[in-house]
Amino acid sequence: MDARCARAFLYSNSVSSRVEANPAFNRPGVPGLVEAINASQSSNSMVNAVLVTLEPGHGADEVAEELRRWKRLTVYTRAQMENILIGKLIATSARQIGMFLGILSIVSAAIVAFIIYTLTMDKIREIAVLKLIGTRNRTIAWMILQQALALGAIGFVVGKITATFAAPKFPKFVLLIPGDTVIGFFAVMAICTLASLVAIRMALKVDPAEAIS
């Protein structure tokens, strides 16, 4: 048994003894009351937390050590609590959100690529005519890229408006700062640009002779 378990065991025994010594709990006419109280205290998963404000001239580490020594309590300073929150809770949530965003980016790129490819296939004869009259490949590629960027911009605006008004209605939501919005916009534009490469490659391989076939 290590020191922490020993302190917890001693503290539990002292609490049980105080409950048994209290006549309000140890009533002769109510058998089993003490056992029920001790069982509820030992099986309760809730934790009581107390916030302590130090007076000037007292160090946080010294006060925490005194509380650990004499009160048999687990004490965390502000720096330790920040490490716990950032290193465990926030870091775990950040990894989950990052994985979700990665999957969402892949799915979004596939959907945009399919839509742009379908639109390009529907206009394959017009593209052949453009190549027949001497239109440069750069112009054709820019036209397809514009479609993809316009599709991404429309989706981003609709999503941003929906998230702004709908997110506060949920019990938990991720607060987006202006910097996140800018990064998200450029990420959407990059995804749409990559998704349009398949359609651009297909359009550049079109034979101009298909315009008269």
Q: How far is CA 155 from CA 18, 109, 147, in A?
A: 64, 12, 12
Question: How many CA atoms are closer than 13 Å to the CA of 76, on its beta-carbon side?
Answer: 11
Place of tokens 């490659």: 201
Measured from the Cβ of residue 181, the count of other Cβ atoms closer than 10 Å reads 13
| Residue 185 confidence (pLDDT) above 70 | yes
- Orientation angle between helical segments 178-195 and 91-122, nearest 10 degrees: 40
The set of residues, in sequence order, having a beta carbon less than 8 Å from that of 119 and lying 6+ positions away, is 147, 199
For residue 172, the 8-state DSSP code is S
Q: What is the pLDDT of residue 153?
A: 92
- State the DSSP H helix or E strand holding residue 13, giving kind and residue range, or none if neither: helix 3-21
From the list 187, 173, 5, 3, the residue with the least C-alpha distance to 105 is 187
| Residue 11 confidence (pLDDT) above 60 | no
What band does 96 get if pLDDT is binned at 50, 70 and 90?
confident
The mean pLDDT of the chain is 76
| Residue 90 confidence (pLDDT) above 70 | yes
- Orientation angle between helical segments 33-43 and 3-21, nearest 10 degrees: 150
pLDDT digits (tens, 9 = 90+) for 53-79: 777 877 777 777 777 776 566 777 777
From the list 119, 141, 117, 116, the residue with the least C-alpha distance to 130 is 141
**What span, in angstroms and rounded, lies between the C-alpha atoms of 170 and 130?**
51
How confident is the model over 42-49, as a mean pLDDT? 61
Q: How far is CA 104 from CA 100, 188, 191, in A?
A: 6, 11, 11
DSSP line for 34-78: HHHHHHHHHH----------PPTT--HHHHHHHHHHHS------H
Q: What is the pTM of this model?
A: 0.57
